[in-house]
């Protein structure tokens, strides 16, 4: 039985290993996705005790939510599943525009409820900040939806520290999702101290830095997707980054684990990080992510990993 962890100050308890589902129905994000495989990924997660599913209107768009709605309905035990989804994107004349206005957020929540085939969403995030809406007004609308029982917890995603403070003016923000990994540690300087102080749960995305922290790449690896433009994957920086990752191999081998498991386990030792949501493109990867829970890091190992990636 997996020990469940509480998300911040909410009454929501999750397996610390969740499932990020941008590769489930996210046809606008990844080429050649197969929806049947997507369903199998979600089924595998639910059947093996992963109860925290993270999706968004933008993944698909809409398709990821639809697939999760189908599989959770088929699973039958809605109360055992924690569904997180996000909204802020809308299409105007074929272009994607961000909107955090109260009216649009309410409309977005209603749309997500239909696609997810449920009458409540456990955690609803504002996916990206827009340029104009006061953040406390946006969150105020989510608080009304929470009082109406349509959502259980309020999240924001991709907010700067200033935007988070404005959003949390009345203390309503429960969770923030932001980019954080061993190569990108800016959050330790700004967001994480604030979340720790305010009982807000921090969910990192890109925890494996697009696979760079998995320990599976060699120096001659070539990339023809978004990684080709990512500075972490270019030239000398790429070679130096791989050397850092290799320094984790002895720790992983001593624990009979993979480097990715060690990295994911390290995040769970960070104050405010209650859960992580690695993605998967195949059902086997879901099971592999769960092996993270078998990795116990000592205080010395935690400090050593931090030093390697200083």
Active site residues: 59
> What's the chain's Rg over C-alpha atoms?
19
- Token pair of 31 as six digits: 């080429």
| Cα–Cα distance measured from residue 221 to residue 176, given in angstroms and rounded to the nearest whole number | 33
Token digits of residue 98: 């961000």
What is the CA angle 24-148-126, rounded to 5?
40
Phi, psi of 79 (to 5 degrees): -65, -15
Burial of 94 (0-12, 13-18, 19+ CB in 10 A): exposed
Pairing of strands 89-92, 95-98: antiparallel
Taking a C-beta distance cutoff of 8 angstroms, is the pair 117, 88 a contact? no
Q: How far apart are CA 21 and CA 67, in angstroms?
A: 10
Burial classification of residue 112, based on how many CB atoms lie within 10 Å of its CB (0-12 exposed, 13-18 middle, 19 or more buried): buried
Rounded Cα gap, residues 41 and 228, in angstroms: 27
Q: Which residues pair with 125 in a beta bridge?
A: 86, 155
Contacts for 303 with CB less than 8 Å, ≥ 6 apart? none
């Amino acid at each position: 039985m997996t020990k469940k962890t509480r998300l911040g100050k909410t009454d929501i308890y999750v397996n610390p290993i969740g499932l990020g589902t941008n590769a489930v129905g996210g046809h606008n994000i990844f080429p050649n996705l197969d929806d049947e495989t997507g369903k199998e990924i979600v089924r595998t997660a639910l059947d093996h005790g992963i109860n925290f599913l993270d999706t968004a209107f933008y993944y698909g768009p809409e398709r990821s939510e639809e697939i999760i709605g189908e599989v959770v309905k088929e699973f039958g035990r809605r109360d055992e599943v924690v569904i997180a989804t996000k909204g802020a994107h809308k299409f105007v004349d074929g272009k994607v525009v961000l909107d955090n206005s109260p009216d649009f957020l309410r409309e977005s929540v209603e749309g997500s409820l239909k696609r997810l085939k449920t009458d409540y969403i456990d955690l609803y995030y504002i996916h990206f900040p827009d340029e104009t809406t006061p953040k406390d007004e946006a969150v105020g609308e989510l608080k009304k939806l929470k009082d109406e029982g349509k959502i259980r917890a309020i999240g924001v995603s991709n907010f700067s520290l200033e935007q988070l403070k404005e959003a949390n003016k009345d203390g309503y923000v429960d969770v923030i999702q932001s980019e954080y990994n061993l190569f990108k540690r800016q959050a330790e300087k700004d967001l994480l101290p604030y979340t720790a102080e305010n009982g807000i749960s921090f969910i990192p995305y890109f925890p494996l830095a697009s696979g760079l922290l998995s320990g599976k790449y060699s120096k001659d690896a070539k990339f023809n997707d978004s990684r080709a433009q990512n500075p972490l994957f270019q030239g000398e920086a790429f070679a130096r980054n791989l050397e850092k990752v290799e320094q984790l191999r002895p720790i992983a081998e001593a624990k009979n684990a993979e480097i990715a498991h060690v990295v994911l386990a390290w995040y769970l030792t960070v104050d405010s990080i209650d859960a992580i949501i690695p993605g998967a493109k195949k059902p086997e990867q879901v099971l592999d992510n769960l092996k993270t829970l078998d990795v116990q890091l000592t205080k010395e190992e935690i400090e050593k990993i931090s030093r390697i990636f200083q």
